[in-house]
Amino acid sequence: MKLGCQIKGTSKVLKKSFGGVAAITDAIGAAVPASTLGSGVKTTAQSQAEKKEIEKQQTEKMKKGGMPPRNKKNFRSTKSGAGMTQAGVIAYRRKNPGSKLKTAVTESNPGPKRAARRKSFCARSAGQMKMFPKAAKDPNSRLRQARRRWKC
């Protein structure tokens, strides 16, 4: 968030204070009465309304991106190998344009690129096995089920 911004048409600077009240200063930092600026300064009610509008826009942006809902359509259960389904990947890519998310490599003889992707996943998940020994010992953990599905 900007702490200082130039007010259009003047050499005055509007600075944000932590008490919620804006203080007006000139270029060297001396306080200037708000009445000298005329209509260039917004009231606190207007600024609070603007803050609420900005927060609303930011929450809408957060909703647009992110993960699809955690349901049976988008995510596999632990017993069926964990991870996202094809429908879940499509939903994610719809919410996040430009994403390159893909489903698991489950075929027995994948092409060279998919085989490299599998090898990379297996290496990463082996590191997870070291970091979470409790999950590594449990054959029904999501980590172990996912590794089984990827054929690691």
Q: Does 125 lie in the same domain as 86?
A: no
Name the DSSP letter for residue 142. Answer: H
Alpha helices in 9-100 (DSSP H): 44-64, 86-95
Q: Does 115 lie in the same domain as 96?
A: no
Q: Does 114 lie in the same domain as 81?
A: no
150 backbone dihedrals φ, ψ, rounded to 5°: -80, -5
Does any domain span residue 137?
A: yes
Does any domain span residue 15?
A: yes
pTM, 2 dp: 0.54
What is the C-alpha separation between 72 and 8, in angstroms, rounded? 54
Question: Which residues are 23's β-sheet partners?
Answer: 15
Mean pLDDT (whole number) for 132-141: 94
Q: The domain containing residue 117 runs over which residues?
A: 105-152
For residue range 5-24, list pLDDT tens digits in order. 555 554 444 444 445 444 55
Does any domain span residue 52?
A: no
For residue range 44-83, list pLDDT tens digits in order. 777 888 888 887 776 565 555 788 888 888 998 888 888 8
What is the C-alpha separation between 5 and 12, in angstroms, rounded? 9
Q: For the chain, how many structural domains are there in total? A: 3
Does any domain span residue 124?
A: yes
Question: Which residues are 25's β-sheet partners?
Answer: 13, 31
Q: Does 114 lie in the same domain as 87?
A: no
Angle at 12 between CA 51 and CA 17, to 5 degrees: 40
